[in-house]
Amino acid sequence: MSTDTSHIRNFCIVAHIDHGKSTLADRLLEVTHTVADRDMRAQYLDKMDLERERGITIKAQSVRLLHDGFELNLIDTPGHVDFTYEVSRSLEACEGAVLLVDAAQGLEAQTLANYHLARDAGLVIVPALNKIDLPAAEPEQRTKELANLLDCDPADILHISAKSGAGVDELLQAVIDRVPPPVGDVAKPLQALIFDSMFDPYRGVITYVRVQEGVLPSHARIRMFATHVESEAEETGVNAPEPTPVPELGPGEVGYLVTGLKDVHHAKVGDTITLAGKQGATEPLPGYREPKPMVWSGLFPADGSDYADLRDALDKLKLSDAALHFEPETSQALGFGFRCGFLGLLHMDIVKERLEREFDLELIATAPNVEFHVFRGTEMTIVHNPAEMPPGGDYDKVEEPVVYATVITPSDYLGAVMGLCQERRGELVDMSYLTPERVEVHYVLPMAEIVFDFFDHLKSGTRGYASLDYEPWGQQEADLVRVDVLLHGEPVDAFSTIVHREKSYAYGKKMVERLKELIPRQMFDVAVQAAIGSKIIARETVKAKRKDVLAKCYGGDITRKRKLLETQKKGKERMRRVGRVDVPQEAFIQALRVDDGGSAKGKK
């Protein structure tokens, strides 16, 4: 029933952001007539609004292209450093990768990182220079650079324009010629790799799978290795590009499976599906690991009564997002919520936006932090929440995660890049010139220093030319302290943060100045203080308000005055109480914004 493996090619496209991956995917859909011209739209495979808006792929998608009697499965991998694990699992589903490089920009940090991932996964690389029709393109220079990296014949590098379609037919042919067909045995027990999963409100858990061995029938009792869960699968199918049921998926084939699962935690990216019972495989495919969050933040419903809805929404998101971690958290200031773990800041933004858009929740997010290891004697505590850190230095040492960062920059901006890395407590590892004009620099940097606004500063310091990639590099001791913020003497747990001692004063000052503008005047003077333990390091005062009265009450329109009072009353009820101080939601949201702009405008 399923296609003979010799006529199957499974491949992906790896590229640096903006090098034209989605445009190439669009063109492949057109050239193979997978999508009729009238149905075509830009970034066809990016299903979420968020993906189209941000111009990046968040979720891995697969689509089946039929060309010259071949079944070509294109697996569109996520395109951001936050999603390296998801990328690696998508790569496992392929035998080949088109390495796409912008002919004007050349190699970038992500090109290298993804190339290394693809090579490590044993994929055959089909290199292609894109945007060769751009006036700024330097095909010869770039060909040399790329051939050098791949150690290949420059003649093997294709020149294409995904935009115009030039060279795309040749690229397809190269994929067919160079990428080996998958190997797999129909007779072996089923092993299917989950490289993505999602939750459909009508159909439950849908996974995207690559069958390695055996056959996945449309209806079967299946078992997940990592979670030990069994279920009655309801449908197999392929995206062509709309979901199309097929009777079964054979070895080497890629498609979707409606798992019949309703519980959201049971189908994890990277896990292996087999058949339940005796016909099932005894071993999973190698390489599964629980994704590890790098950035943590507390998410709280702005309206406390939405707590249960937030929990349900997180449960649903977790299904399609194996990297999302969350556990209940209680904040004195913000009430009941969840401490959530994310792969990075983009991942956090995306989750937050999806919760707000798809689940119609209004959220307050605390400032993101990394994972700290706090040592007291031989005892080590893992801290995901600054409020859990012993205040005032009651510990022997603290370790923070560091990353090995790769920056590629035009040599003109090397000074700016090194200055920035130095300022962010980076340690230079080495540097090498790719060409006389372009340098590759490696730094070990504290994760905490780069997850927030490092990339923005890197971009602005190099007029957008530098690129960045990084990977986890273990833990490292640092002189870190917990800074608390107090309102009228009461610490506000949501504002506590862990920073390097040298930066604690600046942080404290920034926070109290910001809060001074955001906290409405109360019936008494409110001290806004930043403290390390019992030591106050910054202070501002919100002066008591003196006037809050409706000036005029005549002409008989009492109704309007009463309504103004009722509005004011409702506003008061929506505020959070910290000790005796009423703090509006907006103050939390504004004060906790990640950007360092002290531009907290809009006096309340």
- Give the residue, chosen from 153, 551, 595, 602, that forms a contact with other proteins under the rule CB under 8 A: 551
- Give the residue, chosen from 38, 41, 278, 552, that forms a contact with other proteins under the rule CB under 8 A: 552
595 binds other proteins (CB under 8 A): no
278 binds other proteins (CB under 8 A): no
Q: Give the CA-trace dihedral at 131, 132, 135, 141, to 10 degrees.
A: 120
Q: How far apart are CA 94 and CA 113, in angstroms?
A: 17
Pairing of strands 379-383, 372-376: antiparallel
Stretch that binds other proteins, among 8-16, 47-55, 346-354, 546-554 (CB under 8 A): 546-554
- Give the residue, chosen from 33, 572, 574, 577, that forms a contact with other proteins under the rule CB under 8 A: 572
Which tokens belong to 499?
């920073």
602 binds other proteins (CB under 8 A): no
Cα-Cα-Cα-Cα dihedral sign, residues 257, 259, 264, 266: negative
Q: Is 147 exposed, middle or buried (0-12, 13-18, 19+ CB in 10 A)?
A: middle
574 binds other proteins (CB under 8 A): no
Which tokens belong to 323?
């990297």
Residue closer to other proteins by CB (options 286, 555) is: 555
566 binds other proteins (CB under 8 A): yes
In sequence order, the 6+-apart residues with CB closer than 8 A to the CB of 403 are 444, 445, 446, 447, 450, 470, 471, 472, 473
> Do residues 212 and 192 lie in contact, with contact meaning Cβ atoms separated by under 8 Å?
yes
Cα-to-chain-centroid distance, residue 234 = 30
> Do residues 83 and 61 lie in contact, with contact meaning Cβ atoms separated by under 8 Å?
no
- Give the residue, chosen from 1, 40, 428, 558, that forms a contact with other proteins under the rule CB under 8 A: 558
User: Rounded to the nearest whole angstrom, what is the least distance from the CB of residue 560 to other proteins in the complex?
Assistant: 9
- Give the residue, chosen from 569, 574, 577, 604, that forms a contact with other proteins under the rule CB under 8 A: 569
- Give the residue, chosen from 116, 200, 553, 597, that forms a contact with other proteins under the rule CB under 8 A: 553
429 binds other proteins (CB under 8 A): no
Among residues 88, 79, 86, 95, which one has the least CA distance to residue 14? Answer: 79
Q: Residue 380: enclosing H or E segment and its boundaries? A: strand 379-383
User: Per-residue contact track with other proteins, 501 to 530, x per CB under 8 A?
Assistant: ----------------------xx------
Residue closer to other proteins by CB (options 278, 601) is: 601
Stretch that binds other proteins, among 36-44, 95-103, 399-407, 548-556 (CB under 8 A): 548-556
- Give the residue, chosen from 479, 541, 565, 599, that forms a contact with other proteins under the rule CB under 8 A: 565
Stretch that binds other proteins, among 314-322, 341-349, 545-553, 588-596 (CB under 8 A): 545-553
550 binds other proteins (CB under 8 A): yes
Residue closer to other proteins by CB (options 416, 527) is: 527
User: Rounded to the nearest whole angstrom, what is the least distance from the CB of residue 507 to other proteins in the complex?
Assistant: 30
- What separation in angstroms does the CA of 276 have from each of 53, 250, 263, 279? 41, 17, 18, 7
Cα-to-chain-centroid distance, residue 564 = 44
Longest distance between any two alpha carbons in the chain, whole Å: 90
Amino acid identity at 57? T
Q: Where are the beta strands (DSSP E) in 466-551?
A: 467-478, 480-487, 490-491, 497-500, 526-532, 535-542
555 binds other proteins (CB under 8 A): yes
Stretch that binds other proteins, among 40-48, 70-78, 287-295, 560-568 (CB under 8 A): 560-568
Stretch that binds other proteins, among 242-250, 378-386, 531-539, 544-552 (CB under 8 A): 544-552
The structure tokens 């292609």 sit at: 128
Residue closer to other proteins by CB (options 47, 521) is: 521
Which tokens belong to 525?
């003077």
Stretch that binds other proteins, among 45-53, 236-244, 413-421, 558-566 (CB under 8 A): 558-566
Cα-to-chain-centroid distance, residue 221 = 33
Residue closer to other proteins by CB (options 278, 603) is: 603
- Give the residue, chosen from 244, 330, 541, 568, that forms a contact with other proteins under the rule CB under 8 A: 568
- Binding footprint of other proteins on the chain (CB under 8 A): 523-524, 543, 545-559, 561-562, 565-566, 568-569, 572
